Structure 1
Amino acid sequence: MTSEQGAPAGTLDGTRDGAAFPGEALVPDPAAMRRVCGHFATGVTVVTALAEGRWIGATVNSFTSVSLDPPWVLFCLRHDSRLLTAIRAGGRFAVSILAAGQGGVAMDFAAEGLPAFDGLDCLTGATGAPILRGSVGYLECRLAEEYAGGDHRIVVGAVTALGVLDDDAAGRRGPLTFYRGRLARLDKECER
């Protein structure tokens, strides 16, 4: 079945960002990929590690859980990331799940070359990596696996410790989110 324009039924117009659909190979450009995936809201984390006696960290929104038993998580980093180099060298890292009021922290850790830890209140975890106070929760991990993923590496961590830093505050503030290229907060929960 096809639409009036000859497109397969159920499609918009038979195209997807310039490529015919279905059947024609689709290789979207990076800007189109970013635009479409930007409509998927994600949480925001800061992943940290200890490298040569110094803390290093980066804002990461590709974080997700992989498995509950065993407890594994994953995130993606660019091939040339200094944080990736530090995680490989030390084999350990921490993930701080940012709260809605930590947009400035997320921006600081997203910027190249800024001393993001200056004036920041941190706890030192068993991994030696900093855990950001004020975050909703944290996970400490051992590097379990690493895979190629296009222009990024997929980093899988085995969780060795975790916790919610302040359950009451986390419930009131909620998590920091990233949606359509901007940091945001959840306004309210959806009704069932």
Structure 2
Amino acid sequence: MTALAPGAAEVPGAVGGQELRQLMRRWATGAAVVTGGSPAEPVGCTVNALTSVSLDPPLLLISLASSSNTLAGVLRHGSFAVNVLAWRQRWLASRFAAVGDRFAGVDYRLVHGVPVLTGTVAAAVCRVVRTVTVADHVLVLGSPHWSRRAEDAAPVVLLDGEYGTAGPGRA
């Protein structure tokens, strides 16, 4: 049997959304922007729900809110890009999480018809191969058909609502 910390109490019942949010704030994660849509109407949003699923075949997974304009653009065009933000781009995590014209003043180029942010630590363009609706989100599995990475850029790390960075020689 494991002892509880002093002052802690076991409370039966379900964990609510805000409690889960607070719990997950303690999980260090990278910050990425998923982009998609058309060249005339690019869409994008900040995500931290990004993971590799398989190496054979290569598959990535992103999770987007069912009501997301980004999800609608990704599904309409059948492809998306994952843009892993560099430390110097940490402001883009807030920009792509806010309401408004997220692409205003943001440098990007089209790769296979998908907007890819410039200056990122890494990026991949994926073809949608499957979607799974779970609660209020849609899990999107993508097969990468283009990628690149920068050797000299430090990535953004998010912990407890604060931006940091990680890499060789950093604590």
The reply to whether TM is greater than 0.5 is yes
Alignment partner of 2:37 out of 50, 73, 76 = 50
Which residue does the alignment assign to 1:23? none
How far residue 42 of structure 1 moved from its aligned partner, in angstroms, is: 0.6
2:69 pairs with 1:82: yes
Which amino acid in the other structure matches residue 175 of structure 1?
P
Instruction: Rate the CA distance shift 1:151–1:123 in 2: closer, same or farther, 3 A.
Output: same
Which residue does the alignment assign to 1:142? 127
2:146 pairs with 1:161: yes
Alignment partner of 1:97 out of 72, 81, 84 = 84
SS at 1:93's partner residue?
A: strand
2:117 pairs with 1:125: no
1:107-155 per-residue CA deviation (whole Å, 9 max, x = no partner) reads 111001x2121221112111x1111111101010011111122221111
1:62-105 per-residue CA deviation (whole Å, 9 max, x = no partner) reads 11111111110111111100111111111011111101111111
Which amino acid in the other structure matches residue 40 of structure 1?
W
Question: Relative CO higher for 1 or 2, CA cutoff 8 Å, sep ≥ 6?
Answer: 2
Which residue does the alignment assign to 2:166? 186
How far residue 178 of structure 1 moved from its aligned partner, in angstroms, is: 1.2
Unaligned runs of 5+ in 1: 1-8, 20-25
Instruction: Rate the CA distance shift 1:68–1:189 in 2: closer, same or farther, 3 A.
Output: farther
- Bigger CA radius of gyration: 1
How far residue 31 of structure 1 moved from its aligned partner, in angstroms, is: 1.1
Q: How many pairs does the alignment contain? A: 168
Instruction: Rate the CA distance shift 1:53–1:158 in 2: closer, same or farther, 3 A.
Output: same
2:168 pairs with 1:176: no
SS at 1:56's partner residue?
A: strand
SS at 1:88's partner residue?
A: helix
Over the aligned positions, Cα root-mean-square deviation in angstroms equals: 1.8
Unaligned runs of 5+ in 2: none
Which amino acid in the other structure matches residue 129 of structure 1?
V
CA distance in 2, matches of 1:32, 1:132: 33
- Percent identity over the alignment? 31
**TM-score (structure 1 length as normaliser):** 0.81
SS at 2:15's partner residue?
A: coil
Alignment partner of 2:21 out of 30, 34, 39 = 34
CA distance in 2, matches of 1:74, 1:60: 11
How far residue 47 of structure 1 moved from its aligned partner, in angstroms, is: 0.5
CA distance in 2, matches of 1:81, 1:51: 16
